[in-house]
Chains A and B, each alone.
Chain A
Amino acid sequence: MNNYPHNLLSIEKSVAGRRGVRFAPASKRAGDYLPAGLLRGEEPRLPQLSELDTVRHFSNLSRLNVGLDTHFYPLGSCTMKYNPKAYEALAAHDGFAAAHPFAPEQSAQGTLELLYKLEELLKAATGFDAFTLQPAAGAHGEFTGALMAKAYHLSRKDKARTEIIVPDTAHGTNPATAAMCGFGVISIKSAPDGRVDIEELKKALGPKTALVMLTIPNTVGLFEKDIKAIAPLIHEAGALLYMDGANFNAVIGTVKPAEMGVDIMHINTHKTLSTPHGGGGPGAGAVGVVKNLEEFLPQGRVAFDGKKYSFAKPSKRSIGAVKSFYGNIGVLIRAYCYLRQHDGQTLKEISQNAVLNANYLKALLQKHFPVFFDYPCMHECVFTLDAAKMNGVKTLDIAKRLLDMGFHAPTIYFPLLVPEALMVEPTETESRETMDNFAAAMIKIYEEAQTSPDLLHKAPQNCPVKRIDEVSAAREPDLHW
């Protein structure tokens, strides 16, 4: 038995008649105001717990979780870096949190000013000419960008551009986004060095190409070193270049994406700009564009006339709205805080230390775990397994054993073209000691694979549950109580 709390559901702890919060009841019942036919028959099956029961239930659930605040979390491509506590307190300030989105503009000048200035900071950090803050997540930013590309080509009466090109290393969101926007997807094979194969790209580019989506650095942690040749090829073909900013943390402060010839880019605030991941969200996916795409941005941009801030009237060619209101404001406040705590020099330190930590881990681990594309990496490094030396141990076993050793696992089995992939992204907020400890754990696991592989197949043993049979969940889905 381990020392973790039991995982009883709240409904299993429920006792009829028990409750946490009470309101001073209304003087009349719903039926006194509304016709019976519109009212609920049965009450919903929600848990009935006291406030203490509730507090204990969720406090104990939190103890079944590993978070960045408690553990090293080298989840590749997710940039799990420290989320400063000051920003939590500031974003929760009533002046921001209690504001209704339809309150008169004069009562929301502080929020509007912050959004306006955030756009200025993002422009300064990336070189783009304009940003939308409306998208709710990275994938939502991709969707916004791809729709803008579509609107751009249609505005030029160029209806033939029905395809989006993505490399085979792309995140699944890129092809899924393209399909959602009604584009065909052309996937191109990477070159042997893990980067875009320029000849393949040339073959794929043509009058049907609307957009090329590149992740820079790419998902094997390498910079597109030929970007200065790639961008003009795309533009000469009449297409636009989209940069998936999922890995922007590697180059913030070192490179301005707009200067590479990128036309559209999203920034995952929960990655590069240190807003918390929240167990899966909310994030935000600000999208930057060059001048000739500005008129296609969604609604909700803030204007300043020198005296007061107000929402700008969207241009006639705006793609409209990708969600309600103006964006995930609570998240954007934290992103603003982060950028205000950095200047050119400290931005550069982000990318330098992120890249240093990744290369240091690469150097420490390479003897035991081969690097699939063995070049100096950027912010993350993709390891693979030498099957002949692993005694039947798989990447999954290693990931589970890491959990036992007090680390969150790296991203595994992605990118798809790397067999048994282990994608490690340490981030700049981790120290050398953490790298050393993690490397020691990985090497110990390597040794265990030689001596006691069964230990790895049976991992984890020290987590709240043992290894889960994930297939059992899909067989007869049990999705609610």
Chain B
Amino acid sequence: MFTPNTKENQQEMLKVIGAQTLEDLFKDIPQDLMNPQYNLPAALSEAALTREVKALAAKNKPMLNFAGAGIYEHFIPAAVNALSSRGEFLTAYTPYQAEASQGTLQVIYEYQSCMCALYGMDASNASHYDGATALAEACGAAARIKGKNKILLACAVNPQYVKVLKTYFGFGNNINFEFVNTKDGITDLADLEAKLTGDVAAFVLQTPNFLGCIEDGDAVSQIVKAKGALLIVSANPLSLGALKAPGAYGADFAVGEGQPLGNAMAFGGPGLGIFTCKKEHIRHIPGRICGIAKDADGKRAFVLTLQAREQHIRRERASSNICSNQALCALNAVIYLTLLGPAGLKEAAELNIENAHILQQKICAVPGYGLAAQAPFFNEFLIRCPVPAAKVIKALAKKGITAGYDYGKVCKECKDLLLVCATETKTAADIEAYISALGGI
């Protein structure tokens, strides 16, 4: 299909090799394993493929989306994809040959810089798979640093992240997790203080949390630090256009899902795992890191650095097995942030706050609906419905609206709770459509 060598080419090349046929090159493979039967459909031409895959895309119905819960719908300026789809970025690989990869490397350096600025941290890696796996790596690092195997999790950490943590550290992998209760939508400080015993390596806080509420980072940090544990914060990067940076309240590790920064929702993947930390933890960072070096003329150049942490050198003693990063998603994020700048990011964050508050007030004005978590929120909020949330979702789906996330999926006693999100993409008309559909149930 994409093989340019003609039959004549092949014959000439075989002659140079000293072989008769292509099969001769496969003599090491036991004969009875060779050339099995393939039950594959007929190969498609590009034109036929295009028809088929477009038809599949057309089977997806576009919805007016009010779901968040980890992946958020944001406006993506056209320049983001126009630039990141350039073949020089798209078809390069990990910048092993630095002199021929200065574009990718400088992008990584700028990405790391933007993440450090946004999260208020000292160092960032070149990115991890997604928010959940970045959090898992931070937990692993914290346990190693402290030499302790217990980690406390805020109850309102995204349940998918919790599931990933349990997969990463279950099966006898020696980190035990314990939950800290939530009170009025945010972490119960008294419960946190009580559970922070001497065997705890770290506390994991998510903000905004899975109820949509903004955690009080200062208060939490004070308690965690007083007990000598590390603080790991998972934060939505777009919220940090307006909200306090984790570094400002003393986070040791700050991670997050970077998809909101210029990356498509893409049905949940690829994501962008943001991983940042304080200076003293740099040697525990998983994966690639780019730094500044000098070339033979003393000119500034960019290279992958601190590689002694990594699997290709340390093998079984590496800080992680990761050997890639989400470079293209990181590129989208850094182009997005460069286009917006601090003022644009703040504008976007404030629009999220405003739209979510307008929608929340209008929903709560519909009889029977009320706010279920009272703490301040960013772009999503938890609604108590007069009927099961699943019923609301079904009714609104018929009108082409994704009403939100059914909280009953993760909490049996919460079947009437609906997590609703309104980003800057929602217009007054969209919000009216939601309210009118809700009124019709």
Chain B residue, CB-CB nearest to A224:
B28
Inter-chain contact A472/B160, CB cutoff 8 Å:
no
For window 33-69 of B, CB contacts with A under 8 Å fall at: 33-46, 49-50, 52-63, 65, 67, 69
Nearest CB of A to B12, in Å = 7
Contact A428/B338 with A65-B92, A403-B97 known, Cβ cut-off 8 Å: no
Contacting B at CB under 8 A, from A42-65, are: 43-49, 51, 54-55, 57-59, 61-65
- In the complex the two chains form, is A125's CB within 8 Å of B25's CB? no
B406: min CB distance to chain A, Å:
8
* Bound CA–CA A179/B64 (angstroms): 45
> Does A29 contact B340, Cβ atoms closer than 8 Å?
no
Contacts of B168 in A (CB 8 A): 322
A341-B293 in contact (CB<8A): no
Q: Does more than half of chain A's interface fall in helix, strand or loop, or is it mixed?
A: loop
Cα A280 to Cα B291 in complex, Å, equals 16
A282 to B326, CA, bound (A): 5
Q: Does A346 sit at the interface, judged by CB under 8 A? A: yes
User: Once the chains bind, are B328 and A147 in contact (CB under 8 Å)?
Assistant: no
> Measured between alpha carbons, how far is A317 from B13 in the docked complex, in Å?
51
Our pick among B50, B292, B325 for the contact of A86 (Cβ within 8 Å) is B50
A-facing residues in B201-260 (Cβ within 8 Å): 214, 216, 218, 240-245, 248, 257
Asked if residues A124 and B38 are in contact (CB atoms below 8 Å), the reply is yes
Those of A125-156 within 8 Å (CB) of chain B: 125, 127, 136-140, 142-143, 147, 150-151, 154
Nearest chain B CB to A327 CB, angstrom units:
6
* Segment from B177-185, B305-313, B366-374 that makes contact with A: B305-313
Interface string of B342-363 (1 = CB under 8 A from A): 1111111111011001000000
Residues of A within 8 A of B171 (CB): 147, 150-151, 154, 181-182, 319
CA distance A403 to B95 in the complex (A): 13
Most A Cβ at <10 Å: residue of B167, B248, B376: B167
Whether B340 lies near A469 (C-beta < 8 A) is no
Bound form: Cα–Cα A23–B36 in Å: 58
Are the CB atoms of A185 and B316 closer together than 8 Å? yes
- A292 in the interface, Cβ–Cβ < 8 Å? no
Taking CB atoms, residues of chain B closer than 8 Å to A108 are 60, 267
Contact across chains for A86 and B46 when beta carbons are under 8 A apart: yes
Q: Flag if B63 contacts A103 (CB, 8 Å).
A: yes
Shortest distance between the CB of B55 and any CB in chain A (Å): 8
Check: B126 CB closer than 8 A to any chain A CB. Answer: yes
Cβ A25 vs Cβ B350 within 8 A = yes
Q: Does B118 contact A (CB under 8 A)?
A: yes
Chain B residue with the shortest CB-CB distance to A322: B167
* Residues in chain B near residue A348, CB distance under 8 A: 35
Chain A residues lying within 8 Å of B240, measured Cβ to Cβ, are 40, 44
Specify which chain A residues have a CB less than 8 angstroms from the CB of B123 in the assembled complex.
Answer: 477, 479-480
Q: Is the CB of A104 within 8 A of B56?
A: no
Query: Which of B75, B291, B342 contacts A473 (CB under 8 A)?
Result: B291
B144-203 at interface with A (beta carbon < 8 Å): 158, 160-161, 163-164, 166-168, 170-174
Q: In the assembly, what is the distance between CA of A95 and CA of B338, in Å?
A: 27
CB distance from B265 to the nearest CB of A (A): 5
Question: Across the interface, which residues of A come within 8 angstroms of B36, CB to CB?
Answer: 127, 255-256, 259
Task: Please determine whether A30 and B118 come into contact, CB atoms closer than 8 angstroms.
Answer: no
Knowing A278-B89, A279-B331, A355-B25, say if A29 contacts B164 (CB, 8 Å). no
In the complex, are the beta carbons of B124 and A480 less than 8 A apart? yes
Contact B350–A26 (Cβ < 8 Å): yes
- Can you list, as one digit per residue, whether each of A53-89 has a CB less than 8 Å from chain B (1) or not (0)? 0110111011111111111010100101111101011
A60 to B98, CA, bound (A): 16
Contact status A40-B293, CB under 8 Å: no
Q: Point out the residue from B49, B216, B271 that lies within 8 Å of A341, measured CB to CB.
A: B49
- Tell me if B347 and A22 are in contact (CB < 8 A): yes
**Chain A residue contacts of B436, Cβ below 8 A:** none
Known contacts A223-B28, A325-B269: does B160 contact A473 (CB below 8 Å)?
A: no
By a CB distance below 8 angstroms, the chain B residues around A225 are 28-30
CB <8 Å contact, A100 and B339:
no
In the assembled complex, the Cα of A8 lies from the Cα of B301 at a distance in Å of: 10
Cβ contacts under 8 Å, A190 to chain B: none
A343 to B43, CA, bound (A): 5
In the complex, the answer to whether B295 meets A88 with C-beta atoms within 8 Å is: no
Q: Which of chain B's residues have a CB closer than 8 A to the CB of A330?
A: 264, 266, 269-270
Are A470 and B303 neighbours in the complex by a CB distance under 8 Å? yes
Inter-subunit contact B296/A341 (CB<8 Å): no
Contacts of A237 in B (CB 8 A): none
Mark each residue of chain A from 322 to 335: 1 if its CB lies under 8 Å from any CB of chain B, else 0: 11111111110100
In the complex with contacts A136-B133, A349-B3, A100-B16 CB distance below 8 A: no
B268, CB-defined interface residue at 8 Å: yes
Residue A173 at the chain B interface, CB threshold 8 Å: yes
From A197-205, A357-365, A385-393, A442-450, give the one contacting chain B: A357-365
Q: Is B299 close to A, CB under 8 A?
A: yes
* Given known contacts A108-B60, A321-B164, A324-B131, A101 and B265 CB-to-CB distance under 8 angstroms: yes
Known: A68-B92, A320-B163. A54 touches B130 (CB 8 A): no
Set of chain B residues within 8 Å of A325, measured between Cβ atoms = 70-71, 160, 267-269, 271
Chain B residues in 8 Å Cβ range of A411 = 96
State which of B59, B107, B244, B311 has its C-beta within 8 Å of the C-beta of A41.
B244
Indicate if the CB atoms of A337 and B25 lie closer than 8 Å: no
Which residues of chain B are near A283, meaning CB under 8 Å? 324
Q: How far is the CA of A204 from the CA of B248 in the complex (A)?
A: 52
B327 in the interface (beta carbon within 8 A) = yes
Task: Return chain A residues, CB-CB under 8 Å to B430.
Answer: none
CB pair A38–B214 under 8 Å, yes or no, is yes
Q: Which residue of chain B has its CB nearest to the CB of A75?
A: B93
Give the residue among A73, A139, A150 with the most B Cβ atoms within 10 A. A139
B99 interface residue (CB < 8 Å to A): yes
Q: B381-405: which have CB < 8 Å to A?
A: 393-394, 397, 402, 405
B87 at the interface (CB under 8 A from A): yes
Tell me if A23 and B322 are in contact (CB < 8 A): no
Cβ–Cβ contact B57 & A40, under 8 A: no
Give a binary string over A82-110; 1 marks a CB under 8 Å from any B CB, 0 the rest: 11101011101111111111111011111
Q: Is the CB of A63 within 8 A of B103?
A: yes
Distance between Cα atoms of A43 and B124 in the complex (Å): 19
Interface 1/0 per residue, B2-17 and A, CB below 8 Å: 1111000110111011
Q: Given A136-B270, A333-B53, A399-B97 in contact, is the A360-B353 Cβ separation under 8 Å?
A: no
Question: Given the interface contacts A40-B244, A172-B315, A280-B93, does A102 sit within 8 Å of B305 by beta carbon?
Answer: no
User: Within 8 Å of chain A (Cβ to Cβ): is B412?
Assistant: no
Residue from B46, B69, B343 in contact with A102 in the complex, judged by beta carbons closer than 8 Å: B69
Within B68-124, the residues touching A (CB, 8 Å) are 69-71, 73, 75, 77, 79, 81-104, 106-107, 109-110, 112-118, 120, 123-124
CB within 8 Å for A341 and B291 given contacts A23-B347, A103-B67: no
CB closest residue in chain A, given B171: A150
Selected A-B contacts with CB under 8 Å, 16 pairs: A40-B240, A55-B79, A66-B92, A68-B92, A73-B92, A78-B93, A84-B46, A90-B50, A98-B265, A172-B312, A326-B269, A340-B44, A340-B49, A435-B13, A460-B99, A479-B116
A63-B103, A282-B324, A330-B264 are known contacts; what are 14 more A-B pairs with Cβ within 8 Å?
A33-B376, A59-B83, A64-B101, A73-B93, A80-B93, A94-B57, A95-B57, A136-B133, A279-B104, A320-B167, A326-B267, A326-B269, A432-B5, A463-B99
